[in-house]
């Protein structure tokens, strides 16, 4: 399999993946600590629980975004001449952001959850002082700016190369009857992510700057409902975008393993266009409990939440099955992780669809059902795609070979991740609230099962990370 030409891209991808895997392990350990506390197996103060919860939430979203970006950049650079300096600028902004966020949480007690819902950041300054909130908000802002620079640069390149973002989304084929296949899937997916995630980050930047001004001068206020809209437009879309970046690995790697190109046919292009539109519309499913939001908005949130991920998920899952079917594919760490990640993604969408139903939502939304849903598609979907890409990268750019230990760690990861999400979904179904540091005696069993499963997931991830680092030494010196 051919290696990527540009040493700077290779170097950048290595930095991204090293950071991703190490932070991932640390954040998973935080997850286990939360479950141990909820399950009464250890005892930490509520202050510490919420600090850890804040770090875990933002850290995991950050990890998914970093890994997804590495995937997107690596494959996109095979189709488009792009300047790796931008890739590294984004990395630098992320690292600065992460450092500020960690200082905010662990040195200055910021613990308002990663969703920093206005006016919480100001309220908490009364207990902890302004520095924590300001450092956290600036950290997220800088991180966002890094992504914005990257997306604007990529938008510029795509417009130059394809004649517009509509063209790189395949509108010629959808609307003007152009024959043949559209732009490569990596290009289509990148365009979608540029459009949706730039919108998200701009919404986020507005509400973050508003919050910062409000902390510096409390006379400056925002409408809390508007702030909530902007915050969830940001949080929802940013999380979604991680999977739309990471899924590029599924297209590229499965195509390579089967020697069957993954072409963007009309159904594929329509699906990605539909998901572009829906992803922008559906964040209102986070506001289903807010009676002040106009009903039509909630109905849009509900109806399109059903429809949102579906088009891309269907063309991708169906495409993956078709490309693999009778291809004589060789199953190793990369192909099996990426294939399994499809199921994580699909499985994760099902509880979300249930929860996005307004009547169900009123009962379920603040329960562990919700973490149950997003841990499925993030953990067994996005993270599995990133781990699969880590192997693929090492194999393609270095000389890594599949070994029995990899089969073991992959099985361990999936088996026990099912244990974690199963314990969350079960807890949700018996109405255990999310984000509670202390749990009632009748809930702790599910927490203990989750914690035990979590230990094995951490172990599996450590094994995969050791393998990744150990094999990296063959990458730097191209053979």
Per CB under 5 A, residues contacting Cu ion are 236
Q: Could you say whether residue 140 binds ligand HEM (CB under 6 A)?
A: no
Q: Which stretch binds ligand HEM (CB under 6 A): 94-102, 311-319, 344-352, 454-462?
A: 454-462
236 binds, among ligand HEM, Cu ion, none (CB under 5 to 8 A by kind): Cu ion
Q: Is 53 near ligand HEM (CB under 6 A)?
A: yes
Q: Is 68 a residue that touches ligand HEM (CB under 6 A)?
A: no
Closer by beta carbon to ligand HEM, 60 or else 449: 60
Contact region with ligand HEM (CB under 6 A), list: 40-48, 51-59, 79-87, 254-262: 51-59
Nearer to ligand HEM, 162 or 244 (CB): 244
Assess contact for 160 and 150: CB atoms under 8 A.
no
- Give the x/- contact pattern for ligand HEM in 92-131, rule: CB under 6 A: ---------------------xx-----------------
Q: How far is the CB of 178 from ligand HEM (least distance, A)?
A: 38
Q: Can you tell me the distance from the alpha carbon of 342 to that of 319, in angstroms, rounded to the nearest whole number?
A: 11
Closest-approach residue to ligand HEM (CB): 31
At a CB cut-off of 8 Å and minimum separation 6, what does 401 contact? 395
3-class secondary-structure state, position 367: strand
d(CA 39, CA 187): 45
Distances (CA, A) of 222 to 118, 142, 227: 8, 21, 7
Residues in CB range of 328: below 8 A, 6 or more apart: 258
- Least Å distance, CB 272 to ligand HEM, is 23
Helix then strand count (H, E) for the chain reads 19, 0
- 457 binds ligand HEM per the rule CB under 6 A: yes
- Within residues 397-426, the interface with ligand HEM by CB under 6 A covers 420
Question: How many beta carbons lie within 10 A of that of residue 285, not counting itself?
Answer: 24
The DSSP letter of residue 3 is P
- Which residue in the set 454, 460, 467, 471 belongs to the binding site for ligand HEM (CB under 6 A)? 454
Q: Which does 31 bind (CB under 5 to 8 A by kind): Cu ion, ligand HEM, none?
A: ligand HEM
Neighbours of 205 (CB within 10 A): 17
Residue 51 and residue 106 in contact, taking contact as beta carbons nearer than 8 Å? yes
Through-space distance between the first and last CA atoms of the chain, rounded to whole angstroms: 13
Residue 174 makes CB contacts below 8 A (sequence gap 6+) with 266, 269, 270, 273
CA atoms within 13 A on the CB side of 213: 10
By CB under 6 A, tell whether 458 contacts ligand HEM.
yes
Residue (60 or 186) nearer to ligand HEM, CB: 60
User: Is residue 378 near ligand HEM by the rule CB under 6 A?
Assistant: yes
Per CB under 6 A, residues contacting ligand HEM are: 28, 31-32, 34-35, 53, 56-57, 60-61, 64, 113-114, 368, 371, 375, 378-379, 383, 420, 434-435, 454, 457-458
């Amino acid at each position: 399999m051919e290696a990527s030409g540009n040493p700077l891209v290779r170097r950048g991808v290595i930095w991204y993946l090293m950071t991703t895997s190490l932070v991932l392990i640390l954040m998973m350990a935080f997850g286990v600590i939360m479950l141990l506390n909820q399950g009464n197996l250890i005892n930490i103060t509520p202050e510490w629980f919420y600090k850890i919860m804040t770090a875990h939430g933002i850290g995991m979203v950050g990890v998914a975004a970093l890994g997804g970006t590495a995937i997107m950049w690596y494959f996109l650079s095979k189709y488009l001449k792009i300047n790796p300096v931008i890739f590294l600028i984004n990395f630098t902004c992320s690292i600065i952001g992460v450092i500020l966020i960690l200082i905010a949480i662990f040195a200055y007690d910021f613990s308002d959850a990663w969703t920093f819902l206005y006016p919480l950041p100001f309220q908490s300054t009364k207990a902890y002082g302004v520095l924590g909130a300001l450092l956290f908000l600036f950290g997220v802002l800088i991180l966002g700016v890094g992504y914005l620079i990257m997306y604007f640069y990529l938008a510029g390149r795509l417009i130059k190369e394809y004649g517009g973002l509509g063209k790189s989304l395949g509108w010629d084929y959808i609307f003007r009857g152009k024959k043949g296949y559209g732009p490569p899937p990596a290009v289509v997916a990148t365009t979608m992510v540029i459009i949706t995630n730039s919108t998200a980050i701009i919404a986020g930047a507005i509400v973050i700057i508003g919050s910062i001004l409000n902390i510096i001068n409390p006379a400056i206020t925002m409408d809390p409902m508007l702030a909530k809209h902007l915050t969830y437009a940001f949080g929802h879309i940013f999380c979604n975008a991680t999977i739309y970046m990471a899924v590029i690995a599924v297209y590229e790697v499965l195509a390579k393993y089967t020697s069957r190109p993954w072409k963007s046919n009309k159904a594929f292009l329509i699906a990605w266009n539909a998901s572009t539109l829906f992803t922008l519309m559906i964040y209102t499913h986070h506001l289903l409990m807010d009676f002040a939001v106009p009903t039509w908005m909630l109905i849009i949130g509900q109806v399109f939440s059903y429809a949102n991920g579906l088009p891309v998920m269907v063309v991708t899952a169906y495409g993956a099955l078709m490309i693999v079917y009778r291809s004589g594919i060789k199953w190793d760490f990369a192909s099996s992780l990426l294939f399994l990640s499809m199921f994580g993604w699909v499985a994760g969408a099902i509880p979300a669809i249930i929860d996005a139903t307004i009547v169900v939502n009123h009962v379920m939304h603040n329960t562990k059902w919700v973490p149950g849903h997003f841990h499925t598609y993030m953990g067994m979907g996005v993270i599995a795609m990133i781990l699969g890409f880590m192997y693929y990268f090492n194999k393609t750019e270095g000389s890594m070979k599949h070994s029995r230990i990899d089969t073991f760690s992959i099985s361990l990861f999936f088996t026990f991740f099912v244990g974690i999400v199963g314990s969350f979904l079960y807890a949700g179904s018996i109405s255990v609230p999310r984000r509670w540091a202390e749990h009632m005696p009748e809930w702790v069993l599910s927490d203990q099962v989750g914690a035990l499963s979590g230990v094995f997931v951490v172990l599996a991830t450590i094994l995969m990370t050791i393998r990744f680092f150990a094999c990296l030494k063959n990458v730097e010196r191209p053979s």
